Structure 1
């Protein structure tokens, strides 16, 4: 490791330690009275966008457990034919923090319909069919939510593990996803 990388490493280490001391300076846990949230997520678990509802289902000290579900519709245009396909992301996440600022870790299942082109080797014709597909989104991110409710924001890295359903052939990992959510907690 050259000198430049050592300085960068120690600077990042210093920032992490400084942030952790700042996070422990809060003295008392705050109970969340606004346990529900409605928000728009761009990117994230659904891939493009989704309208979501979330609820804090358990809280103890700094730890809160949240369950959420959403809905979205995507259009797929193929051969001058447009098909609307539903997407349903469901997620369980853990929030760690005392008041407004939280580390969020979670995972879920996103089920969706998609179109697949097939080929019939006997008739030499292509087939266009709608099939069920699903993925397992993971989440690590930041969440801003006031205990008493109001403005809600979160940002996260959300890679997706696709599993073989609906004609898919093998498991795959898609690391290039992230999401932003804005809404209201109440």
Structure 2
């Protein structure tokens, strides 16, 4: 009886191991932080593949980023469609999308005594800002492209990427903006 119990336990455990191997799916989602890149100064992103059974397929990424200091603030929301080309853990990543921007520049007040001795204040405000390219006003949109390398483990885990991200808007085109990202694939 004891031998039958041990044999049953062994067969049950073998079945579980085989079931786990056949049910494993590739890591088609990732969360990561990116310095530079399509989020502009930095961003936190969620990336997923439309086909959950293949890593080398079309997907999408959505993120947010920005900063706030000394009365100035900047918020970015990158949205991009991308495709991974490759096998195993190594992929060429190519994509296109838009980064939505909102910012607030401090209003500077210039106060002085005029020639008649009257204390006068005038406000000046920078209606636009500059981040690589001039941005006319807030809110605004920048077009973004993505060409780079992504190292993403097939079973999940630590992932990293490095990209060249040309950016453009109505004020011009900048082809040499880049980004690097680190995160977790699952």
What TM-score range do you get, normalising by the shorter chain?
0.5 to 0.7
1:129-144 → structure 2 map (5 Å cutoff): 129=127, 131-144=138-151
Residues in 2 aligned to 1:181 and 1:85: alpha-carbon distance in whole angstroms: 20
The answer for unaligned runs of 5 or more in structure 2 is 1-23, 108-121, 128-136
The answer for unaligned runs of 5 or more in structure 1 is 1-30, 119-123, 164-170
What is the TM-score of this pair, normalised by structure 2? 0.66
What is the TM-score of this pair, normalised by structure 1? 0.66
Q: Report the number of matched residues.
A: 140
- Secondary structure at 2:168's aligned position in 1? strand
Look up the match of 1:126: 124
Residues in 2 aligned to 1:143 and 1:83: alpha-carbon distance in whole angstroms: 33
1:175 corresponds to 2:142: no
Residues in 2 aligned to 1:53 and 1:62: alpha-carbon distance in whole angstroms: 15
1:4-153 → structure 2 map (5 Å cutoff): 33-58=26-51, 63-75=56-68, 77=70, 82-115=71-104, 126-129=124-127, 131-153=138-160
The higher radius of gyration belongs to 2
Q: RMSD value over aligned CA atoms?
A: 2.6
The list of structure 1 runs, each at least 4 consecutive aligned residues, that deviate by more than 2 angstroms after superposition, is 58-63, 114-118, 124-130
Name the CA shift for 1:105/1:99 in 2 (closer, same or farther; >3 Å).
Answer: same
Shift, 1:62, TM fit: 7.8
Q: Deviations over 1:79-132 (max 9, x none)?
A: xxx1333210111111001111011111111011134699xxxxx853355621
- Secondary structure at 2:145's aligned position in 1? strand
Shift, 1:33, TM fit: 2.1
